[in-house]
A and B are shown apart, each in its own frame.
Chain A
Amino acid sequence: MPNMDPKKCPMPSQDPNVRNKNFEEVALGYTAEMAVNEAQRCLQCKNHPCRSGCPVDIDIPGFIAEVAKGDFEAAYQVIAKSSALPAVCGRVCPQENQCEGKCIRGIKGEPVGIGRLERFVADWHRENVHTPAAKPEPNGHKVAVIGAGPSGLTVAGDLAKMGYKVTIYEALHVAGGVLMYGIPEFRLPKDIVQKEVDGLKELGVDIECNMVIGKVLTIDELMNDYGFEAVYIASGAGLPRFMGIPGESLKGVYSANEYLTRVNLMKAYKPDSHTPIMKSKAVAVVGGGNVAMDAARCAKRLGAENVYIVYRRGMAELPARKEEVEHAEEEGIIFKTLTNPVEVLGDEDGWVKGMTCVEMELGEPDASGRRRPIVKEGSEFELEVDTMIMALGTSPNPLIRSTTPGLDADKHGCIITNGPDGLTSRPFVYAGGDAVTGAATVILAMGAGKEAAKAIDEAIKAKNS
């Protein structure tokens, strides 16, 4: 008999006023008892709509049935068939728009907490099972992957399981991509990312850090001189965008990428870190996506008294996940929506001392379907801040497309692919993740990696048959 509680079992989490001063994980995770209870809310319905919402097609009812029985390792094995990074996805996927958004329990109440269960299962496995994954039989074929972020790790994991010898080339000094430099510790502990990366190494994947492909080696060299039969480009989103308003070069203006990289990758939040970061009193984060929420919550934890999210549309239009917005609000982040900065103000020494903003109102929907923000006449006001963080998205990194002849990119610089299989304009060169889509989510990047792994396998088999 299913558990008919209309609400999800709540996620135990750190008190907002405690956690906004530390970098430890916010959500503490289910206990075994909570997990079994929550799993019993699943009706095991025939059509399993949840599954169609998962970009990597996890057998969701299958793993939940095992959790309900209390067989957590069996549940893990079900997930592991489809996902290389369950502990990551259980934490950072936008489940409300994916699996949980399609759950029929969600029609009359709250959907099954699929993300929370996935996280529980992955964490349980990591803490309780220590047998290394079996190394697959090598098939004698080599594939190179550029970028050790979610997309690259996924394609590498899937191909390694099929017997391919995979080498991942990573530009930074650690593997993980945005999971390491972007998403903060309190949302995704770096130990967990490291464990997932170690899992891939156990499968026989080689990870070479400090390798900027396009500079130290080109794709043509990888294919001609190093014997890789296919290459998957997952080099990520690239350079931050700025607004182009006066004062953006003042001291105290960061891109979210820089701010988060300093905090997460370079550990600037630790007192003994060698990496400097502003000791801010009042911070304005410009933008409304998940990256903006992450930056704001980091700034608060670093000791800023007032942290503002400044966004030109309304609360309803914030592109960030609802959960992230709620967490930010609980932690005391102040939302200045329908507000747009027009100038950054500096003091005589060139430090940010505030910004001039205008109020906005929403007009007719624009090409993106969202209502276009319009400036309210005469609404200028000043907001006193000493730090500004621009979280306005990115434009693709030019290093690979500018050094790979015949690799087509669109007018924004995103690599053009054939469709979901990720084939580019060059034979045996595939691409996926943010390098193709522009800044998007971890799970979409993983989904692209999954599709590409299948396509690469088929292409190499076809060539050799």
Chain B
Amino acid sequence: MATRNTGFLKGLLAAATVAAGALAATPSLAELKGLEIIAPASPGGGWDQHARTLQQVLQNQKLASGIQVVNIPGAGGTIGLAQFVTAKKRSPSLLVGGQIMQGAILTNKSPVTLDQVTPLARLTGEYTALVVPADSPLKSLKDLLDKFKAEPGSVSWGGGSAGGSDQILSGLIAKELGVSPTKINYVATAGGGELLSQILGGHITVAMGGYNEFAPQFEAGKLRPIAVSAPERLPGTETPTLKEQGVNLEFVNWRGVFAQGNLKPAEKKELSEAVGKAVASDEWKQLVKQRGWIDLYQPTEQFTAFLKQERPQIEGTLKELGLVQ
């Protein structure tokens, strides 16, 4: 797999490490050996970064040794999920995933679901910001929603892939307003730079995405946040929440980590403790802060319950959006 097939790169990495005198961590009394973390996405994205950050912290905190991160990209994480479920592993392995997977499993009619894996912990999350260009005539969420109610098609909502978190949130907002979600003029983009350029250029009415993705543009005065999907205002920001502005919604694009299904209780405990210790470390907290994530750690039981409660909400919205029959 990716990391295995690039032996020559690893050699170079090792050489570079020695040259820099970096990474002094030589795990001695490691609990977990030969741990594999699967990132069901390409290198560089959120899931991949979570996998690699977890790898780094587990290793440096001496909770595990010889960790490999394997990228299995595709279809909103469902390809990685399917391989994770069907693989017969002798050594322990983890799968990083997130909310997008919940939707992708449904829209892609994935043969495997999150029922076949063990939720270990919710790690982080991002609250979604609704963003307009700085020179937009829409000054507040109310302006946007008034325009939307008057003529739904005139508001183009830009966000990530169809059926992903952003479109689901747009559907939830429409439902709250009593407008049919099928009326939403949703423009799916590849997210990241593509979405940012479309909103900066004023080609779409409103963009949705993680608050931090847009934050530098707020500081530069090029974009204006009009709402955030958090329960209360994010620390250090003045962006009002959806709730404050009369839309009774909270929405978090979470990321978490899963273990294989039908684990023995002892194995489950061992893995969930290792992850628990890793996220309790100062190193993890510092890295989370640096990367602009929000620590939303939930241990196994709470996370499992959270997923159960979230799924029908997502499924219902996707059905109303016409993306799932």
Q: A and B: partners?
A: no
Interface residues of A (CB under 8 A from B): none
